[in-house]
């Protein structure tokens, strides 16, 4: 039995069932046995892949979007370029390469990375050394200045709680122990003020999810952009409102039972974008835009054609497949969504409907 499973079983036997959020927190972030604490999970040898790892074009067009927003907001001297959960640093490296020729952009930026994983911090350090990044444990310590921020597949890794509708109350899904197995159960139903609005769009037996740790992250972003200007781009899978059980585990690129391999599988949940947009007020939120639509509007196809000119054979084939994978509605193009947050006094960011 893995050390983390043993420790979870001990805790549950001593103190009773734990919430899905407690379970996710320990599985992902336990300092010794947590998923992110112990490995680089990305790429072919890992458990999952992400848009920036599929093609350099993703980071390139996002970099150019950020530079355009910077220009549109008057090109402030001295701003924070930040990423939440930068993985291997691939997106940021591509964004910085693509923006090297935007006059003044690199001179004005300081790179800040919010990252919990020691192995991934090391990968980021190797990749982004030339920009002398400053690491943070949370968004709370980002500098007080204009902020351009990107978060790709970060919010889906934050722990969620799950509630099952029962009458006008909500029964929280809890994780208990039966012999050596972790099993799902339900706490007794209770009314919940924070879910009052969800009584309108749910029925008996449906599940909704909440993500409390997202709130202080958005709060930290909001404060800086309200005070100094800037822009935050959040890309993730999810919808305007979370609906149903979206907790999922990925292990070696396959779906896994979320309770089967604690600490050895990636655990994620869909992002409830409405909750992020609400927490960001009075910042404006763009329309929630499918990733494929955003990338097309930002010119990914022209970039793909330019890159294709120097490719042939199997390289060209995989380049074409990568473009399709990022943009096609049947692949990542529709499942992944983008939300932009910006000050009411600034022009809307390119690529979104205002």
Give residues in contact with ligand SAH (CB under 6 A).
Answer: 28, 36, 42, 50, 52-53, 85-87, 91, 114-117, 120, 152-154, 157
Minimum gap (Å) between residue 125 Cβ and ligand SAH: 13
Tokens of 267: 């655990």
Closer residue to ligand SAH in complex, CB, 114/276: 114
Closer residue to ligand SAH in complex, CB, 171/220: 220
Dihedral of alpha carbons 38, 42, 43, 46, sign: positive
Minimum gap (Å) between residue 190 Cβ and ligand SAH: 28
What are the Cα distances from residue 138, in Å, to 68, 113, 141, 334, 341? 26, 9, 6, 29, 19
Minimum gap (Å) between residue 308 Cβ and ligand SAH: 23
- Report the distance separating Cα 262 and Cα 313, nearest Å: 42
Minimum gap (Å) between residue 327 Cβ and ligand SAH: 16
Contacts for 41 with CB less than 8 Å, ≥ 6 apart: 35, 47, 48, 266
Closer residue to ligand SAH in complex, CB, 53/60: 53
Burial class from Cβ neighbours inside 10 Å (0-12, 13-18, 19+) for residue 37 reads middle
**Position of minimal CB gap to ligand SAH:** 85
Minimum gap (Å) between residue 295 Cβ and ligand SAH: 14
CB contact at 8 A, 99 and 178: no
Closer residue to ligand SAH in complex, CB, 148/164: 148
Closer residue to ligand SAH in complex, CB, 72/331: 331
Closer residue to ligand SAH in complex, CB, 152/289: 152
CB contact at 8 A, 230 and 121: no
Minimum gap (Å) between residue 213 Cβ and ligand SAH: 7
Distance of CA 318 to the CA centre of its chain: 25
Phi/psi class of residue 16: alpha, beta or left (left: φ > 0; alpha: ψ in -120 to 50)?
A: left
């Amino acid at each position: 039995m893995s050390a983390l499973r043993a420790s979870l079983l001990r805790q549950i036997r001593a103190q009773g069932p734990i919430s899905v959020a407690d379970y996710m927190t320990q599985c992902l972030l336990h300092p010794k046995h947590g998923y992110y604490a112990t490995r680089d999970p990305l790429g072919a040898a890992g458990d999952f892949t992400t848009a920036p790892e599929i093609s350099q074009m993703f980071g390139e067009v996002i970099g150019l979007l950020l530079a355009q927003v910077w220009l549109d907001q008057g090109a402030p001297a001295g701003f924070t370029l930040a990423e939440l959960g930068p993985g291997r640093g691939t997106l940021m490296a591509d964004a910085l390469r693509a923006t090297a020729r935007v006059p003044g952009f690199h001179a004005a930026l300081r790179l800040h990375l919010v990252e919990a994983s020691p192995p991934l911090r090391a990968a980021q350090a190797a990749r982004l050394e030339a920009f002398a990044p400053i690491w943070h444990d949370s968004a709370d310590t980002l500098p007080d200045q204009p902020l351009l921020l990107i978060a790709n597949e970060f919010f889906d890794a934050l722990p969620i709680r799950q509630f099952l509708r029962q009458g006008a109350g909500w029964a929280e899904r809890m994780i208990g122990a039966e012999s050596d197995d972790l099993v799902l159960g339900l706490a007794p139903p209770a009314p919940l003020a924070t879910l009052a609005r969800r009584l309108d769009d749910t029925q008996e037996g449906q599940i909704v999810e909440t993500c409390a740790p997202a709130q202080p992250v958005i709060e930290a972003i909001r404060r800086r952009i309200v005070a100094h200007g800037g822009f935050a781009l959040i890309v993730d899978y999810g919808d305007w409102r979370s609906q149903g059980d979206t907790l999922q585990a990925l292990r070696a690129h396959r779906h896994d039972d979320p309770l089967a391999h604690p600490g050895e599988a990636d655990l994620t949940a869909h992002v409830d974008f409405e909750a992020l947009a609400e927490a960001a007020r009075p910042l404006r939120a763009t329309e929630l835009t499918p990733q494929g639509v955003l990338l097309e509007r930002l010119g990914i196809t022209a970039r793909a054609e330019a890159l294709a000119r120097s490719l042939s054979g199997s390289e060209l084939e995989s380049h074409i497949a990568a473009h399709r994978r990022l943009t096609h509605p049947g692949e990542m193009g529709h499942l992944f969504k983008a939300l932009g947050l910006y000050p009411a006094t600034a022009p809307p960011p390119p690529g979104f409907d205002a």
